[in-house]
Chain A
């Protein structure tokens, strides 16, 4: 299985900050990488696919980049509704696998 490693596992930030989360794959996955946001007690929400394509309705404050084995999710102008756990997900390998998550907390 392709292992997905996210860093950091948690971070504290203030409203208005810009944060970056990193996801590394144990082998090259081209750009077949998605990002999800999950709030406590809720289902994940799809944010990005193909490393950098925003899902319908996702604001442009979210951006993704990367290819191969290293990827980043950047959230600009952090707002209270953005505090959540973020997961990366590779969908080229079989089985598809997920990162362990990065919890973004309010400082």
Chain B
């Protein structure tokens, strides 16, 4: 069973860049799709984007201009950067693994424990 662990700064100032890393253990980062999801306190879930080990990625159009994702295969990690943050970006950020279903659509199979990022001066 793959395990995912998010890490990164928990406090980011407005207009700065949020940076998070997800470490994958118990499985390979190769040939898998990795995704980021966030959840503001007391609210619902928002899909941020996904990346595959080759580095190809796509992201939510609502965030695309501010999102950057990367993969570090040597350390079995993938990362998220979100630029020009505001208080609205305060949330618990989750990394997750996606798998193909029988029709080759990607569904979320496993989740990291999440990490709270607060945007405040």
Contact = CB atoms under 8 A, between A and B. Distances in A.
A100 interface: yes
Interface residues of A, number: 24
- What is the size category of the interface that chain B forms with chain A? 20 to 34
B106 A91 contact: yes
Nearest to B110: A46
Given A44-B94, A87-B45, A55 B109 contact: yes
Contacts of A49: 101, 107-109
Contact of A95 (B47, B102, B103, B112): B47
Interface stretch (B13-21, B23-31, B57-65, B74-82): B57-65
Interface of B: 44-47, 58, 60-62, 94, 101-103, 105-114
Given A44-B94, A46-B107, 19 more contacts: A34-B107, A43-B94, A43-B113, A43-B114, A45-B111, A49-B101, A49-B108, A50-B107, A53-B101, A87-B45, A89-B45, A91-B106, A91-B108, A92-B105, A94-B58, A95-B60, A97-B47, A98-B44, A99-B44
B103 to A, nearest CB: 8
A50 B102 contact: yes
A36 B58 CA distance: 23
Contacts of A11: none
16 contacts: A36-B108, A43-B112, A43-B113, A43-B114, A44-B94, A44-B111, A46-B110, A49-B108, A87-B45, A89-B108, A91-B107, A92-B105, A95-B61, A98-B44, A98-B45, A98-B47
